[in-house]
Structure 1
Amino acid sequence: MKNITTKIALIILSGWVLYSCSLVKNVPDGKHLLKKNDINVNGEENNDDDHKAQMYQLPNTDVLGWHIRLNIYNLANKDADSSYQAWLVKNPGWHNFLTRTLSEKQVQRLGNSFFVSGFSNFAKKTGEPPVIVDLNRVKKSRNRLFAYYYKKGYFRSKVTYTIDTLENKKAQVNYNVVTGKPYILDSIATFIETPALDTLYTTNRAKSQIRKGDQYTETNFTAERERITSLFRNNGAYTFQQNNISYVLDTVGNNYKANVDLIIDNETVRRGDSTFVRPFRLYKISKVNIYTKNPTSADQAVDSVSYNGFNLYSMGKLNYRPEALTDAIFITPGSTFADYRRVLTSRYLSNLRVFNYPTIQYVEDPDDPTGSSLISNIYLNPRKKFRFTPSADFTHSNIQDFGIQGSLGLSIRNIFKGAEILELTTRGNIGSSRDQAIQDRSFFNILEYGADVKLTFPRIFFPFNTEKIIPKEMIPSTLMSFGISRQRNIGLDKENFTGVLTYNWTPKRTDRWRSRSAKLDLFNIQYIRNVNAENYFNVYQSSYERLNGYANEYASQVNPVYFRDQSTPGTNGELIIESGTNGFINDVLATPAIVTVSPEDERNISRIEERRDRLTENNLIFSTNFTYTTSTKEGLTDNTFFIFKTKAESAGGLLSLLSPLMTENKDIPVGNRTIFDVQYSQYIKGELDFIKHFDLRRGKVLAMRAFFGLAVPYGNSTSIPFARSYFAGGSNDNRAWQSYSLGPGRSGGLNDFNEANLKMAYSAELRFNIFGKLNGAIFGDVGNIWNIWDEVDDSDYTFNGLKSFEDLALGTGVGFRYDFNFFVLRFDVGFKTYNPGKEEGERWFKEYNFSKSVFNVGINYPF
């Protein structure tokens, strides 16, 4: 054993030495590979991201200490073409053979071909050359560190550096920063020549970003410049720009105190070859002209309309009701010029989806002798009235071996001349499946089809005026949608009817919250009808297998006609679906019981029957829900942001008030009442969803997501409809389990589709670039689902306080993602690290192997 250990240690040590030497393969003699930048500030090490960002040179990128890109680069032949030429000289016979076969010109060109230089070129392009310590860059890094602290008020800081050479042609650069005392703002004086601007500044001075007693920070001066510019331009100063603001800082002999002069001179105006100075003017809007094109009447005369002070012009007859356009315009005649009005107008017009991005221009009104009026010209270019969107796709799933999916959509813009949009969509899918639940054995044995109608209004469609509650600055809209779909020859053959009335609006943005959105489904109606409920045990095979096991265990008491023909090979002991399964369940649960089983087996058989009743019953869901989302994300390249989303839903409340008035519910207690002979669902539901991204620099991002959801049945329901319940597992959830296969609790995922009414989930992954557009990830997913406050009382399935946190499943794994710019193709491998469905002592790492792993393929990131 001792010899084996020594050999293993020797192999590891040898491998490490070879790996270390390979890193400096392309480092010239006398040069050194940069191993580390060590930054010391006032005697303490400080190598955070802000300080690293000041470096002109950073060590080669690594993944968990492995310099993969540098190693790829080192695999390349430094000069493949020269090596090829040397090979030709060394092997004249081959040179002559190639010349006879090809031509001398082609032989020479082979040196740049893929066969000779291809891999080397790929390795150089994909890999990363060694970062060699450069004295000039070290000095630049030192200067940048000095500037970094200078901008924070340390005007007398000192920055020095040393270079420590290490073995194996490596080096470490040490930076030492002595900051000294920071400068503190003392007096702040303003010199604003334009009286109107001086008054504006004085009125809003309390919001200043630079205050007496604060440490000097350049970012505060920049923020103050932006604040002043926004203040002035939103109060009429159309010609004011940031460069009109200047600061003068006096630090001479003030004992680390700085006096600040804020200076805003008058406006400099250029007219022809001459310039002159005048006070800034505060402009008002005298006219607002709205120009729209009419593609169908381009050669007709201009149609003009005046409405509420707005002037509307169109080539040909105006195709819009005037208020539909003016309601979207926040720049109004008589109002003061303000930048925010232009931004709101652009956002509102773009949100209509009727026009292309608008053009908004301002010109001075020549009819105003004071020169303080502006004319706003707004140019709208309508999109095409009709838009067809056909689509076709080939699909594959765990049930559908092959499918052809298609849809045809028609959008009609401005259908009622109020910028409304009507969308009509038909969709269909035919497919092939060998699933045993499908009795039809023909090739195309799956059929699904449906249709949707959506009507969007660019305002709140409501009998009463909602302007005071949701003003038009929030860009409100109303969506009415209706849909119907039919699924045949798969599962329980469902019919689905939906009707939704949705209000959307955008609450006011703030500096902290980059964007907000609110959505209210005033009515969300869904009716689900199971056409082929008798096919349940063909679809849910795990339930059938457990029931069949009980039937075989008590076979001596079971009526033989419940089983398939005993003379048929391969069918011994199999209950007939549906007569045999129903007969056996009824005999066990009868009073008195015809088939006597143990109390525990009776409970389990009762649960199988309860689950069957629940999943085959028709559902009527009449709900209202509200969703609120806040986000700090700025664009697709932002890697430091968070998104918080919360949702509250209530179902069945209105129907519970109406149902007692219907004759079908006469003398029927709550819990069994129906609407049009369908038992309606009643529950309340709440969700919290939080996503946070941290930018770790150099292509590394730490992404996290936390989710909590709870749905509680009450009144007319003892459980949550399957369509509104929670499941765990899948490519966007716990990736070590397949969809619907995790939980509830520590039950072990016994059913084909496991669901419950409580869910907790947390995921984190470290994303990093491998090379080029190929990225990698290391992730961990924690979570599970439970039953709580519903009809399930088995402790293995239910949430029982703090002890149930032992049921949280942990999945870990690795992923690869390729960025195609317009979407990301994702491949993840998840391993069951902690499986609460196993016996204690068998939960940790017992399934941590590829044979038990789960492969996930997805589009874009999971969160």
Structure 2
Amino acid sequence: MKKYISLFIISTVLLFFVSCNSTRHLGSNQYMLTKNVVKVTDLRDDRLDDLYYLVRPVPNKKFIDVFPFKTWLYSTFQPTVDTLTGEVIKDTKFKKWARGYGEAPVLLDSAQISYSVEQLKIELRNKGYFNAEVTPEVHYRKKNKLASVTYYVQANSPYYVQNIKYDIDILRYRRLILQDTNNSELKSGNIYDATQLLREKDRIINSIRDKGYYHVPNNIVYFIIDTIQKENANNAKKLVDIEIKVDLSRITDTTIFEKMMYRYKFNNIYIYTNYDPSLNYATEPMDTITFIRSKKDPTRYFFITPQSVRKTKKNGDYKFFRDYRYRTLSDVMYTKKEVSYARSNISRSYKRLNDLRNFRTINIECEEVKSKLDTVAKIGYLNSIYRLSRNKIHSFAAEADVRSDKTNIMLSYSNKNIFKGAEYFNINGYFGMDILFKKTNKFIIYSNNAEAGGEISLDFPRLFIFRKTQNIESLRYNTQIRVGTHWQRAASLYQRLILNSAFVYNWTPTYQINHSLAPIDISIVKIDKYKGFDELISRYSTAFRKKYEENVLVTFKYIFNYNVALPDKRNSFSLRIRLESSGLTVCAVNALLSKSTKPLNSWKFFGLNYATYEMTDIDLRYYHKVNKKNSLAARFNFGVGIPLFNSTVMPFEKSFYLGGANSMRAWQFRTLGPGSYYSSERNERSGDVKLEMNLEYRGTIYKFIKYGVFADVGNIWLIKRDVNMKNAEFQFNRFYKELACAAGAGLRLDFNFFIIRLDIAFPIYDPNDPEGERWVNKLDLKKLYIPLAIGYAF
């Protein structure tokens, strides 16, 4: 206890010294600004949480939000100055470096306070608080020459939108705008918000342009705001009317007025597949290839390549170098000839080109074809110009997933355009080990499990078979074929080899939703049991022993992902649902074609037993942004697998497990559960039912140094009763009593591109301990678990 008191006293004295030293060169009427605070005194509105960032000046940054280290450096290493003349008498390179690295103290400034008050009032008016009052209050610590400012905000009652009117003088645009009002962000009854007006203006302009009106200036749309000085029945609510004006009163150029009346169509397409902004395309010799897709598509596609990027033969003659198959790119360009101009077509083309993963930058512009301007029908044409700067086609990568319970190293090679059709080829290999802590009189790190494997995959930027589906608006898609192998060694017990192949469709109808469908996914599991393994597991039930048999999995898989940020932009959530059905197709074929009267559990697939089961796994995550530096994260995960027909247990590869750096962090990898089954032996724990809930508060200490405080609750269970594993099966009348509980805290080093996470977790309730010993009444250092990992747990 004395050590902690001494540390507190030393820290306090150091803080006092640093603060005083930072201000010793200030004048008699100068004060160093240490903090700005904005307090809204009369209401709670999440939209006002960021008012603090409008206040000026911004105080000096502090190391771990406590010590103004850079200011101390700047003030401490000032040059020696003649007090009479002000001339520098002595200075050194080190002092100059220290001042350059440091920061001059930010001073209290009355003019900046007045400016901040006005900025706060402007922002409050923009948020609907037209009668807000802002009162600054300066707090001085004259002895230390320090000051802080608190801005007290009395927002008063906000104004609510009552009536929304449209006044549209341009007849060509009137119907288009009125037909699209359902998509308006402005709603009667909402609090007035100026940012909504700006978004509404952009929406109206874009809706007109999407109907072919290419030359629509932004200034034809503006708003008239009318505050209504009357009260509602409750004598409290203040109201505002909004009139949306669309007219030509702000257009002074007659040529623009004429072009506004023309509806435009797309014409031909010009494509620079290897665009280099450093080249002078006005003088650079070019090769141009004209491509026509089909008779149904009248568009002419001009593929333009600078001669300087072509390959050459040994004799010096040029050989034309084609970057891509022409159909690959033309298939994802939606600015086709005779199609009415719409920004949405350009956006869709951009998205689909970006999905090819071949281009570093994509620039799409339109150029008017003046020779095709029809002045009678008021129709014009636009050529589309695509400037595509390529990514590196070949790439090598090395990744490491380092955790305190499991470590993996992966090497991979990828080719983004292997067959000139933007096919994405990837081959990878990995090696990993489970890292376990053996408890004796000391903690000893050892590894008795290892795994290795690799995978070859090929992604095609189209959906095989479903050709017509690819024309659906905004749909993004690809087809993947992959084969792989996975080898695992479990101590001195057995080796497992898994051969896998799959055919997968992936499609994304919106930014929030993603689907993945594998109509066929085949895995062959071979097991090499070491001497003594059968004897070791003979004490367990027949169902448990079947988990370690060779089998074949012929699986149908579907994965649904939904990610959405709520309108307030402070909350978001994600939902992932995984469905698997294995062996049912093979069962049906066997039942129809086989003349054998053998029972279901004796059917074979290429000489091996095949597993039949149904499985679902639901993962729901919620994130709440408390402020710019702190957030709250929660996860709910539930999964269940049911063996059917040919199988009495779930395959080991498909069983659920908990523990480790990313789930139930107070337990080591695969060591929790099932249920309240107790065993003094340490072995891999797996189950058929999983339930896990996590809650974590994430905060910032200083810049990239962050922290987390968390709680984990969960367990796994068997779906069927096992006579040799008491209380391991799921039962509704007791499962809630078998939920393990843990808590902990940790540090995170957030470098944006990756995060290093170190947690300290301890069990609060362990259902696998003997009855009467499950609640942890005191902190036992032997039960602490310290997982290290890359990235967040969820």
TM-score, structure 2 normalization: 0.78
Counterpart position of 1:804? 735
Structure 1 position 628 matched with structure 2 position 578: no
Deviation, 1:204, is 2.2
Q: Is the partner of 2:341 in helix, strand or coil?
A: coil
Structure 1 position 755 matched with structure 2 position 752: no
Contact 2:456 2:482 (C-alpha < 8 Å) held by counterparts: yes
Structure 1 position 309 matched with structure 2 position 298: yes
Counterpart position of 1:644? 575
Structure 1 position 278 matched with structure 2 position 258: yes
The structure 2 residue matched to 1:81, chosen from 77, 100, 110, is 77
Unaligned runs of 5+ in 2: 83-88, 232-237, 277-283, 306-319, 439-446
**Deviation readout 1:326-368 (Å, 9 max, x if unpaired):** 3212222111111111111111122123455433221111221
Partners of 1:662 and 1:158 in 2: CA distance: 83
Q: Structure 1 residues 735, 27: CA separation in 2 closer, same or farther (over 3 Å shift)?
A: same
Contact 1:745 1:796 (C-alpha < 8 Å) held by counterparts: yes
The structure 1 residue matched to 2:168, chosen from 162, 174, 191, is 191
Partners of 1:253 and 1:633 in 2: CA distance: 37
Contact 1:747 1:797 (C-alpha < 8 Å) held by counterparts: yes
Counterpart position of 2:154? 177
Partners of 1:212 and 1:294 in 2: CA distance: 49
Partners of 1:782 and 1:377 in 2: CA distance: 56
Q: Structure 1 residues 76, 279: CA separation in 2 closer, same or farther (over 3 Å shift)?
A: closer
Partners of 1:317 and 1:16 in 2: CA distance: 68
* Letter in structure 1 aligned against 2:349: T
Counterpart position of 1:39? 39
Q: Structure 1 residues 84, 689: CA separation in 2 closer, same or farther (over 3 Å shift)?
A: farther
Q: Structure 1 residues 847, 9: CA separation in 2 closer, same or farther (over 3 Å shift)?
A: closer
Q: Structure 1 residues 759, 489: CA separation in 2 closer, same or farther (over 3 Å shift)?
A: closer
* Letter in structure 2 aligned against 1:675: F
Q: Structure 1 residues 112, 734: CA separation in 2 closer, same or farther (over 3 Å shift)?
A: farther
Partners of 1:677 and 1:647 in 2: CA distance: 29
Partners of 1:481 and 1:507 in 2: CA distance: 23
Contact 2:657 2:670 (C-alpha < 8 Å) held by counterparts: yes
Q: Which of the pair is proportionally richer in strand?
A: 2
Partners of 1:432 and 1:182 in 2: CA distance: 61
Unaligned runs of 5+ in 1: 87-103, 437-443, 510-514, 538-577, 586-604
Contact 1:742 1:748 (C-alpha < 8 Å) held by counterparts: no
Structure 1 position 374 matched with structure 2 position 382: yes
Contact 2:556 2:581 (C-alpha < 8 Å) held by counterparts: yes
Partners of 2:4 and 2:787 in 1: CA distance: 37
Contact 2:694 2:710 (C-alpha < 8 Å) held by counterparts: yes
Q: Structure 1 residues 641, 135: CA separation in 2 closer, same or farther (over 3 Å shift)?
A: farther
Question: What pairs up with 1:362-511 in 2 under 5 angstroms?
Answer: 362-370=366-374, 372-380=380-388, 387=394, 389=396, 407=411, 409=413, 411=415, 413=417, 415=419, 418-423=421-426, 425=427, 427=429, 452-462=455-465, 465=467, 467=469, 471=472, 473-486=474-487, 492-509=494-511
* Letter in structure 2 aligned against 1:460: L
Q: Is the partner of 1:343 in helix, strand or coil?
A: helix
Deviation, 1:478, is 0.8
* Letter in structure 2 aligned against 1:363: E
Deviation, 1:198, is 2.0
Deviation, 1:711, is 1.3
The structure 2 residue matched to 1:766, chosen from 684, 691, 697, is 697
Q: Structure 1 residues 535, 320: CA separation in 2 closer, same or farther (over 3 Å shift)?
A: same
* Letter in structure 1 aligned against 2:130: F
Q: Structure 1 residues 429, 206: CA separation in 2 closer, same or farther (over 3 Å shift)?
A: closer
The structure 2 residue matched to 1:785, chosen from 700, 716, 720, is 716
Count of residues paired in the alignment: 733
Q: Structure 1 residues 241, 713: CA separation in 2 closer, same or farther (over 3 Å shift)?
A: farther
Counterpart position of 2:349? 345
* Letter in structure 2 aligned against 1:333: K
Deviation, 1:617, is 0.5
Deviates more, 1:519-528 or 1:849-858: 849-858
Structure 1 position 715 matched with structure 2 position 645: yes
Partners of 1:301 and 1:186 in 2: CA distance: 60
Q: Is the partner of 2:197 in helix, strand or coil?
A: helix
Partners of 1:38 and 1:411 in 2: CA distance: 53
**Deviation readout 1:559-601 (Å, 9 max, x if unpaired):** xxxxxxxxxxxxxxxxxxx6x758xx5xxxxxxxxxxxxxxxx
**Deviation readout 1:184-241 (Å, 9 max, x if unpaired):** 5446241333x22222112223443335665533233223212212211222122335
The structure 1 residue matched to 2:180, chosen from 204, 214, 217, is 204
Partners of 1:715 and 1:690 in 2: CA distance: 31
Deviates more, 1:375-384 or 1:493-502: 375-384
Q: Structure 1 residues 313, 445: CA separation in 2 closer, same or farther (over 3 Å shift)?
A: farther
**Deviation readout 1:826-863 (Å, 9 max, x if unpaired):** 22221223222234553344463443221222112222
Structure 1 position 526 matched with structure 2 position 551: no
Q: Structure 1 residues 80, 139: CA separation in 2 closer, same or farther (over 3 Å shift)?
A: closer
Counterpart position of 1:228? 204
Higher Rg: 1
Q: Structure 1 residues 660, 267: CA separation in 2 closer, same or farther (over 3 Å shift)?
A: farther
* Letter in structure 2 aligned against 1:283: Y
Deviates more, 1:182-191 or 1:648-657: 182-191
Contact 2:674 2:728 (C-alpha < 8 Å) held by counterparts: yes
Q: Structure 1 residues 311, 856: CA separation in 2 closer, same or farther (over 3 Å shift)?
A: same
**Deviation readout 1:682-712 (Å, 9 max, x if unpaired):** 1111122122222222421222222111111
Partners of 2:96 and 2:275 in 1: CA distance: 57
Q: Is the partner of 1:372 in helix, strand or coil?
A: strand
Q: Structure 1 residues 287, 822: CA separation in 2 closer, same or farther (over 3 Å shift)?
A: same
Contact 1:85 1:111 (C-alpha < 8 Å) held by counterparts: no
Contact 1:268 1:278 (C-alpha < 8 Å) held by counterparts: no
Contact 2:524 2:551 (C-alpha < 8 Å) held by counterparts: yes
Contact 1:831 1:847 (C-alpha < 8 Å) held by counterparts: no
Q: Structure 1 residues 151, 397: CA separation in 2 closer, same or farther (over 3 Å shift)?
A: closer
Q: Structure 1 residues 45, 25: CA separation in 2 closer, same or farther (over 3 Å shift)?
A: farther
